[in-house]
Chain A
Amino acid sequence: MINQVYTTVLAIINKDNRGYISPLEFNLYAEFAQMSLFEELFHKYSKSIVKQNARMYHSEFSDIPKHIREVVDIFTDETSLTPLVVLDPLNTLWRPLASNFYRMVKMDYRLKEIEEVSKLEINRVLSNNLIQPTADYPVYVSLKGAYRIYPSNLTENEVIVTYIRKPNQPKWTYTSVAGNALFNPTAVDYKDFELPESMFNDLVLKILGYAGVEIREADIIQLAQSVEASNTNNEQL
């Protein structure tokens, strides 16, 4: 998909000889665009749930929350924990064993969810006879980007973290032929967009927006913004 996006962007920008963006610049914009659209997915999902509860979205093809969930699910993964700081065995801080960790979805221990408790409430939970954490009802607090799990005697290798990973950086790779960049998908560092085909238009518009700023072409920026605004309006209907 990355080649299609690049050629489309170039085609729009090159119209009337407005300008050109190099592969290096495109790769930079592609990364920004993908991350930006990826982050927007979470907000869109939240809004779509509200609309679905208001009966504005329905089942099957108009099940928008499901469609968004399917996109986010591309980036969900599972990992285990590794100790970050061992102050003492009772106060170990754990972090997910994944370099591309982006957001926590849930943490499980032997099919029981480890529930997040706020730092304000943790002491009340620990000292309450009715809800004291046990292996059946474990809890955790976030600290220093890591987690402290209660009760502390859980076998950590049985804790499974379900998380959303960061999308891989897209890269349009090429070989130079007579001074021209020729697309080369067989390069080792080639990386396509991870967002699905259904987000092709969004990617093109995002990148056009960035490119328009770079080539100081107000028309391009305006075009990207107006199409994006029109898309947003359609979604809000």
Chain B
Amino acid sequence: MAHQILPPINYYQTESNWGSYQYITLSQLVDNFMLNYIGDDKLLSNVKRYNVLSHFKRGIQEFNYDTLKEIKVVELEINTNLSIILPHDYVSYVRISTVGQDGLLRTLSQNSTTTLGAAYLQDHEFNILFDEDGYPLEAEETEMTKRYKVGDPYQDVDCASEFDSSPMYGLKPDINANGYFNIDKRKGIISFSSNVKGKVIVIEYVSDGLEYNNGDEVVIHKLAEDALYSYVKYQLLNNKYGVQEYIINRAKKDYYRDLQNTNIRMLDLRGDELLIMLNGRKKWLK
């Protein structure tokens, strides 16, 4: 339950209400917009609610990718194939890590020297084999993936331990002793290097905010509310026939201004924290 003005006792006694005051629901956004922005005496009239809803959902998606910073975290255990399935609402990752013995995260790197693709089956004369519909037959696993899973990065010349004490230390900044991962977006899996075997994986990722699809479950932070109204207003005016260009431009400026404000607000910058960070610059590195 989000954004309801509850008596404090109800709030504290129901776990699902905790923190809900930060958010506003999609249905409230749509109702507010229909009430305040659409009407005979307003810039927008004769607009269908499903158009408004569609733009709100697109806006929520866009805002979730970079403005809202609603990072979701999921912990998964890796299977024997050294892979895990992407979370159902995954859009893009922020960080993928393993959990150390101390409970802290060890960040993994994406391996740029291998990739997850398809392997076409070939006959003894190296001709590609096709199925009855004329499409190439594919192997279950590519040779690259097989070797990648079996290989031990610590034995590899590129591994971190090799470099740590050598004069070449630092020449390859992408080397990571914690391990590597690769994402096959189409198949929806993440594969890991063999040194990650048996470890617990933590995926920090962004979703599009619509994983609950409708109603009161779809929420956005109140700090982004105004920017979202401006986004929908601009999109509707921009797609409406006969609206003067200066009105569209005004709506566009409003939107960019509100988006910028939201971006600044969502940065979570606080004076005292900045002060502590800036104090650090006075330290001499020896």
What is the interface of chain A, defined by CB distance below 8 A to chain B?
A: 49, 52-53, 113, 115, 117, 125, 128, 130-131, 134-137, 139
Contact = CB atoms under 8 A, between A and B. Distances in A.
Contacts of A139: 50
B49 A113 contact: yes
Contacts of A53: 40-41
Interface of B: 27, 30, 40-41, 48-50, 53-54, 57-58, 210, 214-215
A130 B41 CA distance: 29
Contacts of B50: 115, 117, 125, 131, 137, 139
Contacts of B214: 134, 136-137
A157 B160 CA distance: 70
Given A53-B41, A115-B49, A137-B50, A130 B57 contact: yes
Contacts of B48: 115, 117
A137 B58 contact: no
B186 to A, nearest CB: 19
Contacts of A115: 48-50
Given A53-B40, A128-B54, A136-B27, 10 more contacts: A49-B40, A52-B40, A52-B41, A53-B41, A117-B48, A131-B54, A136-B214, A137-B30, A137-B50, A137-B53
Contacts of A134: 214-215
B49 A130 contact: no
21 contacts: A53-B40, A53-B41, A113-B49, A115-B48, A115-B49, A115-B50, A125-B50, A128-B54, A130-B54, A130-B57, A130-B58, A130-B210, A131-B54, A131-B57, A134-B215, A135-B215, A136-B214, A136-B215, A137-B50, A137-B53, A137-B214
B53 A131 contact: yes
Contacts, number: 34
A131 B48 CA distance: 11
Nearest to A125: B50
A235 B116 CA distance: 75
Query: Lowest 8 A-B CB distances belong to which pairs?
Result: A131-B50, A136-B215, A130-B57, A134-B214, A131-B54, A49-B40, A115-B49, A130-B54
Contacts of A113: 49
A120 to B, nearest CB: 13
A53 B41 CA distance: 6
With most chain B CB atoms within 10 A of its CB, the pick from A115, A128, A134, A136 is A136
A159 to B, nearest CB: 17
A201 B49 CA distance: 41
Most buried by A among B27, B41, B50, B57: B50
Contacts of B53: 130-131, 137
